[in-house]
């Protein structure tokens, strides 16, 4: 029986890959991934570049085209590069430019693959988020009053294209939820070949109860799993929920 992502919000589930969840002032985070094969080309992360400095939290999601080992190797290189560069605390524009060089070099050495990503910096003190969307599925910000905002501003071609636009969202309010996800979520299909799609995904987010990040993740992925049923998974599926409290 294959693991369901809706069940992946518990650390005891070994079918799910988890990074460590950082403690965040005024917020909580939950995330999980379910590879289509044994390893995934999706990447998610949330970390403080310098642990003793809690005014800057990096929240990242990325997706390398393709699956299995080649995509996973490129994503592992991307993760290591990001953590190394972020530890030097550069401005976001410089971080993205340097990561772009690493990414292209790795693609040429391993295999040329299209990569998308969202890189964001969250300040728990001011509750402000600065982000770059490099061709990735737009994260969804659901305000406590049910209003929906998509984080679409960014590069147009591939991850870390230097023609990106940095954007800033206003301070998060208690009850706000920010949902990062890869295309495997909205492109999941049922036995009739029908995709879950953006409209169903937005509807599930719009109707979220006032829960913490872990409960929110479980609820959202349950909607996807119930739609898909017993249909075999066709792509890596990853979701990250950031919930303000």
Predicted TM-score (pTM) of this structure: 0.83
pLDDT digits (tens, 9 = 90+) for 133-154: 888 899 999 999 889 988 876 5
Where are the chain's structural domains?
5-244
Tell me 160's DSSP state. Answer: T
Homologous superfamily (CATH) for 5-244: PPM-type phosphatase domain (3.60.40.10)
Q: What is the pLDDT of residue 238?
A: 94
| Predicted confidence (pLDDT) at residue 62 exceeds the cutoff of 70 | yes
Instruction: Quote the tokens at residue 18.
Output: 């988890």
| pLDDT class of 11 with cuts at 50, 70, 90 | very low
CA 214 → CA 10, 145, 211, distances in Å?
A: 8, 20, 8
Average pLDDT on 9-29 reads 61
pLDDT over 70, % of the chain: 77
Instruction: Quote the tokens at residue 239.
Output: 């979701």
How far apart (Å, rounded) are the C-alpha atoms in residues 57 and 240? 14
């Amino acid at each position: 029986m294959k693991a369901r992502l809706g069940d992946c919000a518990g650390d005891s589930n070994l079918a799910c890959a988890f990074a460590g969840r950082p403690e965040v002032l005024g917020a909580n985070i939950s995330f999980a991934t379910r590879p289509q094969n044994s390893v995934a080309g999706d990447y998610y992360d949330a970390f403080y570049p310098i642990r003793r400095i809690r005014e800057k939290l990096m929240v990242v999601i990325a997706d390398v085209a393709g699956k299995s080992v080649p995509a996973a190797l490129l994503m592992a290189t991307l993760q290591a590069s990001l953590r190394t560069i972020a530890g030097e605390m550069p401005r976001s524009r410089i971080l993205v430019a340097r990561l772009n060089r690493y990414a292209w070099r790795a693609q040429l050495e391993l295999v040329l693959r299209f990569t998308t990503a969202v890189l964001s910096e969250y300040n728990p003190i001011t509750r402000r988020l600065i982000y770059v969307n490099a061709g990735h599925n737009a994260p969804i910000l659901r305000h406590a009053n049910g209003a929906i905002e998509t984080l679409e501003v960014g590069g147009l071609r591939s991850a870390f294209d230097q023609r990106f636009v940095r954007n800033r969202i206003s301070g998060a309010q208690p009850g706000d939820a920010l949902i990062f996800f890869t295309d495997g979520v909205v492109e999941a299909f049922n036995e009739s070949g029908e995709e879950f799609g953006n409209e169903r995904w937005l509807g599930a987010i719009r109707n979220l109860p006032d829960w913490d990040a872990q409960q929110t993740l479980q609820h959202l992925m349950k909607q996807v799993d119930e739609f898909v049923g017993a249909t075999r998974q066709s792509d890596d599926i990853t979701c990250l929920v950031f919930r303000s409290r």
